[in-house]
Amino acid sequence: MTVMERIQDFLGQKRFAIVGVSRRPKDFSRAVLREFRERGYDAVPVNPEAREMDGLPCFARLQEIQPPVGAALLMTPPALTDRVVRDCAEAGVKRVWMYRAIGQGAVSADAVKFCETNGISVIAGECPMMFLPGGAWFHRFHGWVKKIAGSYPR
The reported pTM is 0.87
CATH of 3-149, one of 3.40.50.720, 3.30.420.40, 3.40.50.1100, 1.20.58.100: 3.40.50.720
How distant, in Å, are the alpha carbons of 27, 28, 80, 96, 130 from that of 7? Answer: 24, 20, 22, 10, 11
- Which residues contact residue 62 at a Cβ distance below 8 angstroms, ignoring those fewer than 6 apart? 17, 19, 46, 69, 72, 84, 87, 88, 90, 91, 93
- Give me the tens of pLDDT residue by residue for the chain, a chain 154 residues long: 898 899 999 999 999 999 999 999 999 899 999 999 999 999 999 999 999 999 999 999 999 999 999 999 999 999 999 999 999 999 999 999 999 866 678 999 999 999 999 999 999 988 898 887 665 544 444 444 445 555 556 6
